[in-house]
Each structure stands twice: as structure tokens, then as C-alpha cells.
Chains A and B, each alone.
Chain A
Amino acid sequence: EAGVAQSPRYKIIEKRQSVAFWCNPISGHATLYWYQQILGQGPKLLIQFQNNGVVDDSQLPKDRFSAERLKGVDSTLKIQPAKLEDSAVYLCASSRDRGEQYFGPGTRLTVT
């Protein structure tokens, strides 16, 4: 079974620029999550989708972050405009029934 795919793996941008990340979950997994992991910390949930719908986006900075999940499969996370404090690893995860989550390799974002 193929795992969670993410791209790109690395991205370097200047502050105030925009960036987008892509995620393809494990086939058949209805729930998709985006996390932000700052160096030395555990992942922090940004947004959770159940099929096409948003279940929880309470910790998503909505003035600059947006996310969508097209047709209940792939998802994109966008940051516009980026700030220095957005430098982190962005992890995508999926789960079949909101139980154990399976993570992708992450995208390391550096904002200069």
C-alpha cells in the first residue's frame, strides 16, 4: 500500500511571497490532516478534512493560510503572504476512520 505523498520536499521563499504544498493521502482514507512542526516541537494540527468538508480549522491562521481538498482526495495548503515564523515542516497525514494517522515525509519550508 502506497503511503502519503507530499511535494515539494523542500521550499525556500522570501517573506511576503506565497507558497503551496500538495498532499495525496493513502487510498481509501477519508480523513486528511495538515500539521505544522517547528524544530524541537511536536506537530500542531492546522486543519482536518473529512472527505471534502472541514472538520476542524480552529488553529489555522486564516488571514494567511488556506487549504482545500478536491473531490475528497488530494489536498493543497497555501500560505500567502509568508512570514519568517512560518518556517517549519508541514506534514500531511491521513486516517481511515479517525484512528491512527499515517504521515507523509513533510515539506520543509524556509522563509528568509
Chain B
Amino acid sequence: EDQVTQSPEALRLQEGESSSLNCSYTVSGLRGLFWYRQDPGKGPEFLFTLYSAGEEKEKERLKATLTKKESFLHITAPKPEDSATYLCAVQANDYKLSFGAGTTVTVRA
């Protein structure tokens, strides 16, 4: 069975304090790894798709990287508006998407 584990569960940062979120996974044939952002009371918002080890994607202060066993979401110089829950999901060869429980990031001004 495909498994996705995210750590830490919660992360409190000072504005400008860079950090990384981890997503480790086991999947029977990785088709893609997805990162989403979810704000309270809203649906997940798509951020990135990574397809192969070594791939990197960037968007504003966020950078996602992928290895054969895990993915990292780096937040550089975060601002309060980056506060959200970040979800990682893996898509197996059968196209099924399995989500982790998420990391809740709080950025204080």
C-alpha cells in the first residue's frame, strides 16, 4: 500500500526564518509527486508536480525537490501570508493519489 509521511506536523517560524518540510513516501511506481497548499476552510491549492529524482520546481518563496524516497519543500524568507497547511501527495502507476496528513506552517511577523 502506498504511504506518505510528512514531518514535522507543525512548524512555527519567525518572518524571514527559512525552513524545510519533509515528505517521505513508499509507492509502487511513482508517476508524480504533488505539493498543495490548503488554507483554513478552503480546498487544497495546487503548487507543484515533480516527476523524477533530481527535479526541482520554484514558485516565489517556495522550492520543491525530489529524491527517490522523499521530497522537500523549502520556504525561503517566509512571510505571514505563507501560513497554511502544506500537503504532499504521490500518484502511483494506477493514477491513484495518496495524501500525507500535512504540515501546518505558522509564520509570525
A32 to chain B, nearest CB (A): 13
Query: In the complex, which of the residues B36, B42, B87, B97 contacts A45, with contact meaning CB atoms closer than 8 Å?
Result: B97
Give Cα A91–Cα B99 distance, bound, in whole angstroms.
13
Query: In the complex, which of the residues A40, A101, A108 contacts B97, with contact meaning CB atoms closer than 8 Å?
Result: A101
Q: Give the size range of B's interface with the partner.
A: 20 to 34
A-contacting 9-mer, from B11-19, B44-52, B61-69, B74-82? B44-52
Most buried by B among A42, A93, A103: A42
* Contact of B96 with A100 in the complex, beta carbons under 8 Å: no
Give Cα A56–Cα B46 distance, bound, in whole angstroms.
22
* Contact of B101 with A40 in the complex, beta carbons under 8 Å: yes
- Residues of chain B at the chain A interface (Cβ within 8 Å): 4, 32, 34, 36, 41-46, 49, 87, 89, 94-97, 99-102
7 CB-based A-B contacts, threshold 8 Å: A42-B89, A42-B99, A42-B102, A48-B95, A99-B32, A103-B43, A104-B43
Q: Please name 11 further chain A to chain B contacts, defined as beta carbons within 8 Å, in addition to the given A42-B4, A98-B95, A102-B46, sorted by A numbering.
A: A40-B101, A42-B101, A91-B43, A100-B46, A100-B49, A101-B34, A105-B41, A105-B42, A105-B43, A106-B42, A108-B41
